[in-house]
Amino acid sequence: MFTGIVETTAVVTEITPSGSSLCFRLESPLARELKVDQSVSHNGVCLTVEETGGDTYRVTAIRETLLKTNLGTLKTGDRVNLERCLKSDGRFDGHIVQGHVDQTGICTGITDQNGSWLLDFEYDASTGNVTVEKGSVCVNGISLTVFNSQPGRFSVAIIPYTWENTGLKDLETGDTVNLEFDIIGKYVARLLQPFQ
């Protein structure tokens, strides 16, 4: 389990196909602290550390993950947001994040508001995912507060610290992002549907 509070970023240094999967080697300040078999959120996607060495480590994204996330669009030199799993003795600063991306969305607008940034996103609402005003959503692994919540679209406001210390400042209009909707909202929505 994660909280959506990004610890640092990593840079993709190598991408190697392995059957229908992709192996990623990443360079990060966290690399020396990681252990093989550890779960780490990469842009909101929970991946298992397979190998470590110096300032780099390796993870693999299988076909199912590549189909449901934006990891398949990564290129060498791209930056990804990192968060290690939640420690049971730590503060819970974000919201409950599983590291299981629900779907991708598109960044439809980035507005510099002279001290903060307004980001707009759209997603396919036919999947049943929803946002609520002042609720939480995870965008590329970052716990953010929703406003302008509408079917298939929402906005978030970004403070300078988050802008400077995550991959959000690399985002451009039209980019695909990973979305994980609030787990409590997903349970409520499911309970309101007839059982199938």
135 and 75 share one domain:
no
Residue 195, pLDDT score: 59
111 and 180 share one domain:
yes
121 and 161 share one domain:
yes
73 and 124 share one domain:
no
90 C-beta neighbours (distance < 10 Å), count: 9
Question: Domain of 71?
Answer: 8-84
Residue 91, pLDDT score: 67
119 and 184 share one domain:
yes
User: Domain boundary at 57, 84, 111, which?
Assistant: 84
133 and 183 share one domain:
yes
Residue 128, pLDDT score: 86
In a domain, 170, yes or no: yes
Residue 86, pLDDT score: 79
In a domain, 93, yes or no: no
Our count of domains for the chain comes to 2
DSSP letter (8 states) at residue 90: S
55 and 118 share one domain:
no
Residue 30, pLDDT score: 94
Residue 90, pLDDT score: 67
180 and 115 share one domain:
yes
In a domain, 90, yes or no: no
Cα four-point dihedral sign 132, 83, 103, 188: negative
Give, for all 196 residues of the chain, the pLDDT tens digit: 788 889 999 999 999 999 999 999 999 999 999 999 999 999 999 999 999 999 999 999 999 999 999 999 999 999 999 999 877 766 666 777 788 899 999 999 999 999 999 999 999 999 889 898 999 999 999 999 999 999 999 999 999 999 999 999 999 999 999 999 987 777 777 777 765 5
Identify the CATH number of the domain in which residue 21 sits: 2.40.30.20
Residue 42, pLDDT score: 97
In a domain, 109, yes or no: yes
| Confidence (pTM) | 0.88
In a domain, 122, yes or no: yes
Q: Which residues of 16-52 are buried (b: 16+ CB within 10 A; e: fewer)?
A: eeeeeebebbbbbebbeebeeebebbbbbbbbebeeb
Q: Residue 72 has which token pair?
A: 């398949």
Residue 183, pLDDT score: 79
Residue 99 main-chain phi, psi, to 5 deg? 85, 15
